[in-house]
Amino acid sequence: MKTIPFFDIVMMPGVSYVFPDTFFPKLQGWEPKVGETMAFLMMKRKKEFGEITLGDLYPVGCIGTVQSIDETSKAVTVAIEKRMITDTIDILEDGEIELTCSDYPDIMDETAEETEKRLQALKQRLYSFVQPYQWGVVARNFIRGWKSMEQMVVSLANQMDLSVEERYALLETASVAKRHTLMEEAVLAMIEAVKVVEEVSDQQQEEQKKQMREMAIKKQMQILQKELDEMHPETINDARRFEMKIEEAGMNPEAKREALKVLNRLKQEGENGHEYGMLYDYLEFVTSLSWKKEEMPPVDLEKAEQILEAEHYGLKKVKERIIQQLAVMALNKKQSGSILLFAGAPGTGKTSIGKSIADALGRKYARVSLGGIRDEAEIRGHRRTYIGAMPGRIMEGIRRSGSSNPVIVLDEVDKLVFDHGGDPASALLEVLDPEQNSTFVDHYMNVPYDLSDVLFICTANYVDDIPEPLYNRMEVINFQGYTESEKVQIAKRHLLPKAMEQTGLKKGQLKISDKVLHMIISGYTAEAGVRGLRKQLDAICRKTAVQILKQSGKNISVSAKNLTQFLDEPPIRPEIATRKKKPGVVTGLAWTQAGGAILFIESLLVAGEGKTTVTGQLGDVMKESVQIAISMVRSLFPKEAELLKENDLHLHIPEGAVPKDGPSAGITMTTALASLLTNKPVSPEFAMTGEISLQGNVMPIGGLPEKLMAAVRSGVKTVLIPKENERNLKDVAEEIKDQLQIIPVETVQEVLKITGIL
């Protein structure tokens, strides 16, 4: 007899099973024949047919016969009776199992009526279970067809979640009553399981429906509320207004969450609550920021060039560098790029060209002044727990600009102050660092804001005062200041028309010739930029306005003769002209906050015992320069230097020069001392700049263009510069070079010869 091991069917005597032909090859080539008897045996663990061991087999199984084989080679077999394996069992080579079994009869402890009752009761449960379903009718017919509990359980076996042990238990249980109870339990458990699954999915659906409904209602409410608001705008209260603004602002999720939190507190607080004002200010601030990502209008370089040209005269190099930056940004499709640092004296156009860049890019503009900031919180904001907390200046600037990608000019980064109030420079670094600034958190706002699309431009008068890490992030563009004729052009094209417009003067009502403009510039201003010039022109316009009204509209012309009537102050004489030639005094050139400047180094011998006193500007560099100068003079003029033994030397270096640079006054001091000791005066129209080494070599200096401009402004005629700085002359305007005799020098001896001391 063939033995077929099963593991996943419920086997019951009296029930027929259909085996597809694909099943047979697994049984070592067995081909079923109609009428053949075989044993079904259930397997315990392994599912593979080929590797059965005797321990895998459960002892109770069924014998059955092949009843028919249809055209698709399906064998219909019927289980007939249960058997129990009792004896020697062996697995033969061809895979057949040889075994001895005994009968395994049912214990008939239930009457046929009782069984029928159970069957009908179960069928009823199943009818009502299938009824709500569309397929219920088909299922009903199917249920009706079951003649025994066994048949029912075998049919439902696939739907019931029974383990191999549970299936075997159904077969092994000899007591009919017990078996039928097991069967009942299995069927009822199946019905319950299906119900639970359905209930859960019903609940989920219910939940979803609720959410959808809630959303729909909210939306509807918003629409209706909006309509109401439009009908009665006077009834919109603060909370409602903020609610609408928050909805529309396009904030990032964090910001929106925080804003709604504050809004809730505002509602709870009520208008008379003492925190109301603070909460109101916060909401007002965050909702007036622009949160939406702004598209950058395409950069039109030609137009940008035109705008820069139209709004600022000169500044050729600066404009070139700006256009390069715009081109790089356009190519990279980025709204920001390297951080530009505009360095130069006041009034040289640094801030105003920032505005022109914004115009050229079609973007908004804001100026943030950093001068005198000593507290980190001024940059990054105060935490809201402080009374009177405010956002930092950066975010305030963003708000003023009204956009998320403005051009922001950070004015006077060299004027940040460092003391106990944290480190404003490192806060600023965070603002400028493209790695960090997309999630910049202002303490007041307490949520991140994306600054990565902001184009930052910094300005400074003197770059050496900028903290190193900050300076390293920037690309410096120098604004050298303007020559006199450039200033005339700026006055004519920009400053005067603007001043006239502001005072309400019409074109033609005021005329100022170029000659007079030159007089104003050289006689009334002494600056690298044009701020003073603008003030003078404003003053002329105001006086003109009065005169026009008094003289019933007669046009005014300012001439060399009547200029003094228009300007309050007397003209300033060039500094050099006020100076007399005197031994011990020499003109130097310095690079200062205001661009370039001249200064006079003065020395004096007073009766004493060989002491040296130095007053005025005294950086470390300067002290060393003084020592070198004294040694130099001693070695060059040993005889005259005897004077230093019986006299005290007093050297005065005026303030105003930048300490780090020193006024680059090594040669100036040496010349002053040499002049003093030899009693040979040097003309004040002779200016010089350069450090010296102990060997007497003249060393290079910085800021040559600025210094030469200052020399011209102050009336200097001849300038001695270090030979190594000759190459910087290409950066100096021709107009300046034309007005000066520039003599490059290499050694102190040369300097002394040129000045007539040696």
| Residue 378: strand, helix, or coil | helix
Q: Which is nearer to ligand ADP, 19 or 313 (CB)?
A: 313
Q: Which is nearer to ligand ADP, 266 or 370 (CB)?
A: 370
Q: Cα separation of 489 and 735, whole Å?
A: 14
Residue 147: count other Cβ atoms within 10 Å of its Cβ.
11
Helices (H), 507-619: 514-524, 531-550, 563-566, 575-578
Site for ligand ADP in 612-641 (CB under 6 A): none
Site for ligand ADP in 315-334 (CB under 6 A): 315
The answer to whether 347 contacts ligand ADP (rule: CB under 6 A) is: yes
Contact 321, 282 (CB under 8 A): no
Contact 486, 518 (CB under 8 A): no
Q: Which is nearer to ligand ADP, 2 or 542 (CB)?
A: 542
CB 712 to ligand ADP: min, Å: 18
Residue of the chain from 459, 525, 670, 671 that contacts ligand ADP (CB under 6 A): 459
Tokens encoding 68? 């028919």
Q: Cα separation of 606 and 676, whole Å?
A: 12
Residue of the chain from 531, 634, 650, 680 that contacts ligand ADP (CB under 6 A): 531
Q: Cα separation of 84 and 75, whole Å?
A: 25
Phi/psi at 132 (nearest 5 deg)?
A: -65, -15
CB 412 to ligand ADP: min, Å: 9
- For ligand ADP, which residue has the nearest CB? 349
Query: For ligand ADP, which stretch binds (CB under 6 A), given 283-291, 312-320, 657-665, 737-745?
Result: 312-320
Residue of the chain from 5, 32, 64, 349 that contacts ligand ADP (CB under 6 A): 349
664 is known as an active-site residue:
yes
CB 353 to ligand ADP: min, Å: 7
Residue of the chain from 95, 314, 574, 654 that contacts ligand ADP (CB under 6 A): 314
Contact 14, 81 (CB under 8 A): no
Residue 585 CA to its chain's centroid (Å): 56
Contact 664, 708 (CB under 8 A): no
Residue of the chain from 267, 312, 319, 737 that contacts ligand ADP (CB under 6 A): 312
Question: Site map for ligand ADP, 411-450, x if CB under 6 A?
Answer: ----------------------------------------
Sequence letter at residue 443: H
Q: Which is nearer to ligand ADP, 356 or 670 (CB)?
A: 356
Site for ligand ADP in 383-412 (CB under 6 A): none
Tokens encoding 521? 């510039």
Is the Cα dihedral 271, 277, 282, 284 positive or negative? Answer: positive
559 is known as an active-site residue:
no
Residue of the chain from 77, 335, 336, 348 that contacts ligand ADP (CB under 6 A): 348
Q: Which is nearer to ligand ADP, 315 or 500 (CB)?
A: 315
Query: For ligand ADP, which stretch binds (CB under 6 A), given 204-212, 311-319, 442-450, 664-672?
Result: 311-319
Residue of the chain from 180, 494, 707, 713 that contacts ligand ADP (CB under 6 A): 494
* C-alpha distance from residue 266 to each of 179, 254, 467, 713 (Å): 71, 18, 42, 62
Question: Site map for ligand ADP, 270-309, x if CB under 6 A?
Answer: ----------------------------------------
Among 707, 714, 737, 753, the active-site one is 707
Q: CB within 8 A of 5, min separation 6: which ones?
A: 41, 42, 43, 49, 52, 56, 57
Give helix then strand counts, H and E, for the chain: 27, 24
Residue of the chain from 65, 351, 426, 559 that contacts ligand ADP (CB under 6 A): 351
DSSP 8-state symbol, 730 = G
Sequence letter at residue 48: E
Size of the site for ligand ADP (CB under 6 A): 18
Q: Which is nearer to ligand ADP, 244 or 476 (CB)?
A: 476
Residue of the chain from 167, 179, 180, 350 that contacts ligand ADP (CB under 6 A): 350
Q: Cα separation of 245 and 255, whole Å?
A: 13
Q: Cα separation of 534 and 3, whole Å?
A: 114
Residue of the chain from 32, 61, 64, 346 that contacts ligand ADP (CB under 6 A): 346
Contact 459, 503 (CB under 8 A): no
Q: Which is nearer to ligand ADP, 344 or 666 (CB)?
A: 344
DSSP 8-state symbol, 437 = G
CB 337 to ligand ADP: min, Å: 21
CB 446 to ligand ADP: min, Å: 33
Tokens encoding 447? 């949520």
CB 660 to ligand ADP: min, Å: 21
CB 409 to ligand ADP: min, Å: 8
Query: For ligand ADP, which stretch binds (CB under 6 A), given 14-22, 151-159, 376-384, 524-532?
Result: 524-532
Sequence letter at residue 470: L
The answer to whether 313 contacts ligand ADP (rule: CB under 6 A) is: yes
Q: What value, to the nearest 5°, has the Cα angle with vertex 77 and ends 76 and 78?
A: 130
CB 563 to ligand ADP: min, Å: 21
| Residue 235: strand, helix, or coil | helix
Residue of the chain from 12, 66, 490, 719 that contacts ligand ADP (CB under 6 A): 490
CB 524 to ligand ADP: min, Å: 16
Among 664, 675, 680, 737, the active-site one is 664
DSSP 8-state symbol, 74 = P
The answer to whether 82 contacts ligand ADP (rule: CB under 6 A) is: no
CB 346 to ligand ADP: min, Å: 4
β-strands 585-592, 97-103 pairing? unpaired
Render the burial of 447-485: b for 16+ CB within 10 Å, e for the rest. Answer: bebebbbbbbbbbbbbbebbbeebbebbeebbbbbbbbe
Helix axes 112-130 and 176-231, enclosed angle (nearest 10): 10
Contact positions vs ligand ADP (CB under 6 A): 312-315, 346-352, 459, 490, 494, 529-531, 534
User: Which residues carry out catalysis?
Assistant: 664, 707
